[in-house]
Structure 1
Amino acid sequence: MRILSTCLLVAFVLLPLLQAQAVTIPFFSNLPSFTLSVQGDKKLQATLRKELEELRKNSSALESYESPRDIAHYERGNLEKLLRSEGYYDAIVRESVEGREINYQVIPGPRYLIKSLDIIMPADLRAGFPGLPIGVGDPLQADEVLEGVQTITQYLNNNACLLNVDVTYQATVIHQEAAARLEYRVAPSPEVMVGDVQVLGATSVEEDYLRDKLNINPGDCFSRSKLDAAQLRLLRTNLVSNVTSQVSEPYGGIVDINFIVQERNHRTVTLGVGYTSDEGAGVSASWEHRNIFHRGEKLEVSSKVNKVKQSLESKLSIPRFFNDKQRFTGSVGLTGEDVDSYTSRALTLKGLVSRKLSKHRTISAGAELKFSRVDEKVDGAVEGGDPDENYHLLAFPLGFKLNTTDKPLDARRGATTALEVKPYLDLKNNSTSFVKNILQLTAYKTAESARYEPTLALRIKAGAITGAPNLELPADERFYAGGGGSVRGYGYQELGPRLVEIDANGQESLSDAIGGRGLSEVSIEGRFRFSETWGGVLFLDGGNAYENPRPNFSNLFWGAGFGVRYNTSFAPIRFDLAFPLDRRDGVDDHYQVYVSLGQAF
């Protein structure tokens, strides 16, 4: 029964991604259904159908029409525009309405081809031009024509120093021949070099810090695309809210450039609330200063409190730490945790240097010192029988991350690979040393052209601790599974190895989870967008922790459920309801509820 439920849930998650044609659900759409047929061209028919469905999904103008005939008239005009953009200038579109159904009949006619193509630009620039993506004999398609404009513009930006790059085109249609003449023109403009470069308007951010972000220096070849890239880099510092550029009139083949910036408020206060069935209600608060020493250094103080976990942390981030591609992060944190199997209190000092190897790859290395007191609640869970242990752990974390996702809190495409290797040494007891390894993979794929823009999200996590027996490890460093960020449907840290306990009457029972040296987790989600603000989720989670350090994906506990998302400009607010598929009597509840900010992963 559990396997059948799992298969059904996966089928529901994958079905929208596999459908070739989206289906209108009356609850979410009041538009009449439609049929569309194109005489003699099935490929064009599929293209027009896809574009019409996209129009229905995104056009706010359709909301003002109530009559199916008015909708049909509006959509017919759009179909005619689409046909012309594909090169069908003699196409005929007829519509008919029967009740709440619209029928479109399309006679495309001949497709217009390019008869001649000319590029008018200075001869010295034309010499190295590699050519266009279209040519004589190709269909006169709007996308291809515009791509030609972009190709010429990019070539000039990369290979010339023109003060202004202005590329236009003219297409002359010849109806008698079902053909067209296409001509591209580059407007005359002087070639200039960069003179003086200044950043104006900064009040608290040091000007030289911002100037170094420009990557534009006196004597460089002038390029409008370099100006755009420089403005984007300034905005990405998160220190300015607006950037404009001023280019002087040319003098002696030189132009001066001024970047005018408007600083944003560098301080932010945030408050948050959340709720889970296993951890109860929780609150969070943080204060942030993004320019504490006037060169983009960020100081953040944050706190989170619920009945299970409490934390207070201060973190300082320094960009360009001895290198433009390096960042230093130092933090001091106090944490407390009170779970079924242990209670812990800890003070952690940490310093980490991260370096970008490329746009998507980052490595990191650092040192961490953790002073903790861990009180074990499970009899027999500590070597020697003393349930209270003090630890002075020195660690040297090493990390690697590959990240190609588009958004940190609501990714819709891309993937991540994160690996952390963390050797530990107990300074109080030199005989205690171990290495904690964690690997996590995530992937996201969105069918943007399908109705409700379904996203398939996948997460796989594995962990292994080597170097010491399980019960010699601090309880708060062992692996546990279960909870909102792990296996939904089960209580926080309720999955993992358990000891056999014998009561006064000789009856055997299992203890609370004591944690282990191995971890395996897998999650799959189907995410849907019903509107700009509302969405839904179907999910399946599996995971477990093991005494043996080798992860095992064949012995997992499974949970499944659904959720609602309210999309804000910052991140989605999520509400998840999860059910344990491998429910254990007397241990697991019938369901768990999770409310928080951001996707589950």
Structure 2
Amino acid sequence: MSDQGVRSGSQGGRDSQGSQGSNGRAVDRRVTGGLTAALLLLPGLVAAASPQLQLTGLSDTRLVTNVGLSVPRIGFSCQASTAHIRRYLEAAREAAEEALQAYGHFNATIRPSIQAREECRDPALDIDAGPATTVESVRIELPEAIQTIESVNEFVAERRPSTGAPLDQAAYDALRDGILGRVQKAGYLDARYTRRELVVDPATQSARIALTLEAGPRYRFGEVTIEQSILEPELARRLTGVPEGAPYTSRDLLAMNQNLTGTAYFESVAVRPKLDERENREVPVEITTYRNPRTSYELRAGYATDVGPRVGAKVTRRYVNKRGHQWSARTELSAIEQRLDTSYTIPRATDPLRERFDIYARVTREDNNDILTTAAATGVQWVRETDPWTRSLFTEYLLDRTRYGDDPAESNGFAIVGGRLGYQGLDDPLFPTEGVVVDVSLQGAAEPVASAASFVRGRAFAGGYLPVGDWILAARGEAGVIVTDEFDKMPRSLRFFTGGDRSVRGYEYESLSPRDEDGTRTGGKYLLAGSLEAMVPVVGDDWYVAAFVDTGNAYTDPEAELKTGAGVGVRWRSPVGILRVDLAQPLDGTDGLPMLHLGLGAAF
């Protein structure tokens, strides 16, 4: 935008900029020109038979560049007349003067001339930029309502010119336009400057900046029209996450888009505020959606030393009805564990974006370490997700049939209630380099309420990643406890085991556990485990080498010793997730050989 005006007090929102002479007039100047002018500064790239603009006298790279980009393109040949070259020099001199003023040089001396070169004559400018103008005062007046907008305050604090600093007109433009833009994004769409001045006094080489803003009324979101046919209109409106009548902000416009796109219902979303139709301090919004296919199918494959090859499949019904209900079923198969589960999800009508109810059922079979378990569970849970936190409460009935070694299989049922609190603050779920993740759960059952035994089980996990230079440091810790007087009746799925790829490397999967008199691992009442790891890139940002130490155990005797393993590994950021190759040595005083741990693909 090119603002022009004459200084005579407030200009009703129009800039008064430029150099102030003895008569008090302020003449506006701006930088113009194109990228092609830069070629005039590169004689080696121009044919010898063409005129070239010669610039001398400037040493500041910024000034040389701005002048070079601002002078007109040479449009004549070596046979041009002297009058033609002089007309070009006059235009180039004016453009160079404006380019210098953009950086506060208002008293530049520019001497044009014509220089002979072989069979051609070149226009030349010898420039003495003179002293730079400095900022004498900065006065920014914002209404009280605007002073409460954090983005505006941060921007002003960062971009406000310092008294005594060299004048930079581009920085002034950015300050002026940046304040207005942020105010309008906060809903003050009619905001305007009643005074915006950049006044330069060439005699004293000083500049004064004054900005006075009038905010006007703050607008709110008006009618939101959503073009879609798969959900009830009120449900779709609530999925935007922005309540009716909320203050209008560009941030909430973006949130509408992200919230709707983040659901499983829509493939893409376009949100358009109808600013030209705003009235009564309200802005109508039009949202166009493109729905996802009703049903999706997934196939998964992976490998880990713990369970060997594994495959999985999942089918999802993204929208069962216009109330936004969803259904999914999946199966996961490996040599050690087989699993089948299904869930039916009902979004909460009053807050469908953050709350839901899940009705679920699952069947699992696991055969490992001479323990064979078949379990089935069905239940319902309430989930509330407010990024980055997840809270849930559930109740389920679990039927567990387990055989330890050669002992007879025993079946037990439990009516369980519990809750979970999770925090997900990682920068990348597939290959995190920074952030924290926390997961805490508590559950229990009472024998009088359709349960084989009474118990309370708690578990807490925390992990974090910290970049230090090129290195990535990782740490995690896990603890668990079961309180019960009848541990022998506890279902195998709720007992604690450790050891393996994702706990204590150097030991086999779930091999760290108490044993019975026959040597069969039976799981522990307590769990304690931790890990420290350091990674450094060796090839770009995709290949890393790592060194680590893990320690932990599952036990019933509180005085049981922790088992420790240490080793080195390689990490590859593959397109499907992280590939892990670790070689870990157990440090328990035995002659155990190093163990290789492999992992491919995202865990599921």
Superposition TM-score, scaled by structure 2 size: 0.66
Residues 218 and 402 (structure 1 numbering): CA distance in 2 closer, same or farther, change over 3 Å? Answer: closer
Among 536, 545, 563, the alignment partner of 1:556 is 563
Letter of the structure 1 residue corresponding to residue 255 of structure 2:
A
2:480 matched residue in structure 1: 463
Kept in 2, the 8 Å contact 1:244–1:259? The answer is yes
- Cα 1:274–1:361 change in 2 (3 A) is closer
Question: In the alignment, is the contact (CA less than 8 A) between 2:549 and 2:564 conserved in 1?
Answer: no
Which string of whole-angstrom CA distances, capped at 9 and with x for unpartnered residues, describes residues 293-347 of structure 1? Answer: 3444332211111111111111223332665542212221111100123101111
Are the counterparts in 1 of residues 184 and 191 from structure 2 also a CA contact under 8 Å?
no
Checking the alignment, whether the CA contact within 8 Å between 1:539 and 1:561 is kept in structure 2 is yes
Distance 1:222 1:525, change over 3 A: same
Q: Structure 1 residues 534, 238: closer, same or farther in 2, change over 3 A? A: farther
Give the counterpart of 2:263 among 233, 237, 253.
237
Q: Distance between the aligned counterparts of 2:147 and 2:588, measured in 1?
A: 73
Query: Which residue among 539, 543, 549 is the counterpart of 1:540?
Result: 549
**Partner of 2:582: helix, strand, or coil?**
strand
Report the CA distance between 1:194 and its aligned residue.
4.6
Query: Shift of residue 541 of structure 1?
Result: 1.9
For residues 556 and 245 of structure 1, do their structure 2 counterparts lie closer, same or farther at Cα, with a shift above 3 Å needed? same
Query: Would you say 1:441 and 2:462 are equivalent positions?
Result: yes
Q: 1:136 to 1:538 in 2, by over 3 A?
A: same
Secondary structure of 1:481's aligned partner: coil
Is the CA contact 2:404–2:520 (under 8 Å) kept in the aligned structure 1? Answer: no
Q: CA deviation at 1:88?
A: 11
Q: Distance in 2 between matches of 1:442 and 1:192?
A: 43
The residue that corresponds to 2:22 in the other structure is: none
Equivalenced residues, count: 471
* Per-residue Cα deviation, 1:33-73 (whole angstroms, up to 9, x for no partner): xxxxxxxxxxxxxxxxxxxxxxxxxxxxxxxxxxxxxxxxx
Q: Secondary structure at the match of 1:260?
A: strand
Q: Residue in 1 aligned with 2:361?
A: 332
With 131-140 and 324-333 compared, the bigger mean Cα shift is at 131-140
Pick aligned residue for 2:329 from 301, 312, 321: 301
Cα RMSD for the two superposed structures: 4.4
Q: 1:298 to 1:217 in 2, by over 3 A?
A: closer
Q: Does 1:259 align with 2:266?
A: no
Provide the residue aligned with 1:572 in structure 2: 577
What is the CA–CA distance in structure 2 between the aligned matches of 1:558 and 1:112, rounded to whole Å?
67
Find the aligned partners of 1:150 and 1:206 in 2 and give their Cα distance: 40
Residue aligning to 2:441:
420
Moved more, 391-400 or 473-482: 473-482
1:312 match = 340
CA distance in 2, matches of 1:532, 1:174: 53
Shift of 1:367: 0.7
Instruction: Return the alpha-carbon distance in structure 2 between the equivalents of residues 540 and 138 of structure 1.
Output: 56
Structure 2 alignment gaps of length 5 or more: 1-59, 66-101, 106-130
Aligned match for 1:247, one of 274, 282, 285: 274
Cα deviations across residues 375-406 of structure 1 (Å, max 9, x unaligned)?
A: 1106xxxxxxx531011122111222233333
* Residue aligned with 1:232, SS: helix
2 CA distance for matches of 1:193 and 1:112? Answer: 43
- 2:505 counterpart residue number: 488
Deviation at 1:460, TM superposition (A): 0.5
Query: Deviations for 1:419-440, whole angstroms, at most 9, x for unmatched residues?
Result: 1111134689856222111011
Q: Name the amino acid aligned to 2:383.
A: S
Is 1:350 matched up with 2:379? yes
Cα-to-partner distance string for 1:227-253 (whole Å, 9 max, x where unaligned)? 233222222224322323141523654
8 Å CA contact retained: 1:278, 1:492:
yes
**Distance of aligned partners of 1:271 and 1:528 in 2 relative to their CA distance in 1, 3 Å threshold:** farther
- Are positions 1:341 and 2:362 aligned together? no
Matched, 1:277 2:305: yes
Cross-structure match for 1:581: 586
**Distance change >3 Å, CA 373–CA 217, structure 1 → 2:** closer
Q: Structure 2 vs 1, CA of residues 296 and 197 (structure 1 numbering), >3 Å: closer, same or farther?
A: same
Q: Relative to structure 1, is the Cα distance of residues 153 and 413 closer, same or farther in structure 2, using a 3 angstrom cutoff? A: farther
Distance 1:431 1:456, change over 3 A: same
How far did 1:352 drift? Answer: 1.2
| Identity within the alignment, % | 19
Matches within 5 A, 1:524-535: 524-529=532-537, 530-531=539-540, 533-535=542-544
Map Cα deviations across residues 470-529 of structure 1 (whole Å, 9 max, x no partner): 44433343211111222122111111223455xxxxxxxxx2432111111112233445
**Counterpart residue type for residue 433 of structure 2:** R
Q: TM-score, normalised by structure 1?
A: 0.66
Paired with 2:237 and 2:274, the residues of 1 have a C-alpha distance of 16
Q: 1:206 aligns with which of 199, 220, 232?
A: 232
Is 1:498–2:506 an aligned residue pair?
no
Specify whether residues 289 and 540 from structure 1 end up closer, same or farther in structure 2 by C-alpha distance, changes over 3 A only. farther
- Tell me what 2:252 maps to: 226
Q: CA deviation at 1:362?
A: 3.5
SS of equivalent residue, structure 1 residue 516: coil
Mapped to 1, the partners of 2:487 and 2:200 lie a distance apart of 78
The match for 1:591 is 595
- Cα distance in 2 for partners of 1:172, 1:581 equals 75
Paired AA for residue 372 in structure 2: T
Residue equivalent to 1:504: none
Q: Which has the higher contact order (CA 8 A, sep 6+)?
A: 1
Residue 412 of structure 2 contacts residue 489 of structure 2 at CA under 8 Å; is this kept in 1? no
Rg larger in structure: 2
- Structure 1 residue runs without a partner (length 5+): 1-75, 82-86, 91-109, 379-385, 502-510
